[in-house]
Each structure stands twice: as structure tokens, then as C-alpha cells.
Amino acid sequence: MNENERKEILKFGISVDEARKQLGIGRNLMLKLVTVPGFPAIRFKRKIIINGNKLQEWFDNNYGTYGKY
């Protein structure tokens, strides 16, 4: 794979740390959020990948609601 092909790869999956920084929350709360039904995340054994494209949409749809996180 050459340099141009590497640049064209779109990363839509982000880590827990990247997502928590975007939301401005701590790691423990982020780890609780990924267990909420409907949250845009998938777990591969111990690795959690969050859909970065859907994170903003999820936040917009749940903004103003109080969850028991």
C-alpha cells in the first residue's frame, strides 16, 4: 500500500479515549455509556470501537435526558 492509499483510508471507528475527549467526560463514565442500549459502540473481546460518525447523532438525540449512568 502506497502513501496515497493510506491517506484515503477513512477512520470512522474511534477509541474510548477519543470519544470521551470529544464528549468532555471521564473514562469511567465513557465505559458506562458504551453499555447503554442504542449507544453506537461495538465490543471485540476487550476492544471497544465507537462509531465516530454516529456519536454526534446519538448525543443530539439524547441531549437533555437524564440517564442513570
- The conformation of residue 66, written as its DSSP 8-state character, comes to -
Going from N- to C-terminal start, the domains of the chain cover 3-57
Query: What is the per-residue burial (b if ≥16 Cβ within 10 Å, else e) of 9-43?
Result: eeeebbebeebbeeeeeeeeebeebbeeeebbbee
Which tens digits make up the pLDDT trace of 10-64? 678 999 999 999 999 999 999 999 999 999 999 999 999 999 989 999 999 988 8
Which tens digits make up the pLDDT trace of 49-60? 999 989 999 999
- The pTM score is 0.75
68 band by pLDDT with thresholds 50, 70 and 90: low
